[in-house]
Amino acid sequence: MHSRLSTNFLSGSIPPSLGNLSSLQYLNLMFNMLSGQIPEELGNLSSLRYMALGFNELTGQLPPELGRLRSLHVLGLTSNNLSGELPENYANFVGLQQFSVAGNRLTGQIPRFIAKWTELYYLSLSGNDFEGELPLELLFNMSYLEYLFVSDVRSSAGFPFPKNANMTGIRYLVIRNCSISGEIPPYIGDWSSLKYLDLSFNSLTGGIPDSMKKLNLKITIEVQGQSFTLKQIIDATRKFSPKMEIGRGRFGIVYKAELPNEIKLAVKKISPQSKQHGKDELQREIFNLKSLHHENLVQLLDGYSIKDLHLLVYDYMHKGSLHHALFEPNSTTKLDWKARFAICLGIARGLRYLHEEKRFKIVHGNIKPSNIMLDNSLTAKLSDFGLAMLCDEEDPFMAIKAKGSRGKVSADYTPNQEAEFLLDKAGVLHDKGRILDLVDKKLASSYNRKQALTVLLLAMKCVNLSPTLRPKISEVVSVLEGEKRIDEISEGDDTPSASIGGLCGACSRVLEIEPIS
């Protein structure tokens, strides 16, 4: 019996009643919005072989009851908010082959009982709050291990690599920021299967062993089941040829990479003018961004930071940007009203995910048509999010403060002359009873009047002069999805005026806005 419910928008807690499915062998709830604790009742699933609960919002400690799952082969809990220590009875996972708890808040020492998992080939413990000495003498003698990822283990004293090791099948080895001291052992050069090695941010001394020259270490990325080296990706941009440029912004230039089998990627080359933080900080940012998965975000596949070359590799969006579709005369993308309303809803859903649904909240700070991408089905996907750390500006609101007329602003609203002109024009058009003149003339009369007025009213609420009167993005989504009326998220004075607040109040009186059907 299998249960595959991954990559949806499931919310709420995991039902304890799942523990009654005694024949269940496969449980996949990854990439949802599930919250609350992992039910201890899941420990009753005696036949379970595969449990994947990663990339949700699960909290609390790991239930010791899971230690009863002796048939378990895969346990994936990556990117949640889990805390506490790994329960001692997890030593019973003697048949475990994959174990991942990366990107949580687990504490205590990394337990030595992991060495009892003699069939384990994939172990990921990165991005937690573990402390104490890393049991390398045990981990380095797990002969089946092919993938080992450990990072950020706090220790008051350094400790060396073990003198001997038996890990000849290792392919990916990452031990970052774990207080390892001493020299790199020569036996690493004998691991002929090793393709990726990261020992950064430790306290290593001495030189690189001559034996490591034999290794065929390459930087690779997995795309659609195929592996490509960094050189192949750079060559696929024709070495960052201007002819392959598909966009540019305050963080750098984006190039199209054309790989074999009609695979395309978007490669952002971060400009030298961007603020360069330490390599570890950039890599941490890349790790965080890779953990974001949502239908309305452009997926970051990987990132590289090598000397002065900093690259971010994304899914390629075949329809380009919303700016190109709307404003470029050579665009072949036609957006009718149905597509435009769906794009508005998609943008709002993407922002809701960034603002309210992740344990590390992300402010975009630069929402505009050129940062909204469209895939083949015209689904809106936000790009350039989470990159504020690369920006040269000490104060992203410097331009606003210089104007002195807007007061406090929301994180996603950075006015410029064009935006201020649009707001002023909206106020004037409303006073003249012509606010629908803001609708694109190319649509003529082929649009839904109620939806257009709803979108306009919501937009004006989002830029209200008073920050406390602006709705949360989740409220905006609820109106666009028809779950709430606009007046249910309305606050403040409804006195008509040419100001933004007055415009919203006047619109809400003119219209009997109903939920979108």
Annotated binding site for ATP: 269
Looking from the CA of 431 toward its CB, the CA atoms found within 13 Å total 12
Q: Where are the beta strands (DSSP E) in 140-224?
A: 147-151, 159-160, 172-176, 180-183, 196-198, 203-205, 220-223
Task: Give Cβ neighbours of residue 427 (< 8 Å, ≥ 6 apart).
Answer: 498, 499, 500, 503
What is the H or E stretch that residue 230 is in? Answer: helix 230-236
Read off the amino acid at residue 81: N
User: Which residues make beta-bridge pairs with 312?
Assistant: 268, 303
Are 89 and 66 in contact by the 8 Å Cβ rule? The answer is no
Q: Which of 400, 427, 394, 426 is nearest to 413 (CA)?
A: 400
On whether the CB atoms of residues 351 and 363 are closer than 8 A, the answer is no
Which parts are annotated binding residues? 269
Residue 137 CA, distance from chain mean position: 34
Distance CA 196, CA 450 (A): 56
141 burial via Cβ count (<10 Å: 0-12, 13-18, 19+): middle
The set of residues, in sequence order, having a beta carbon less than 8 Å from that of 472 and lying 6+ positions away, is 355, 356
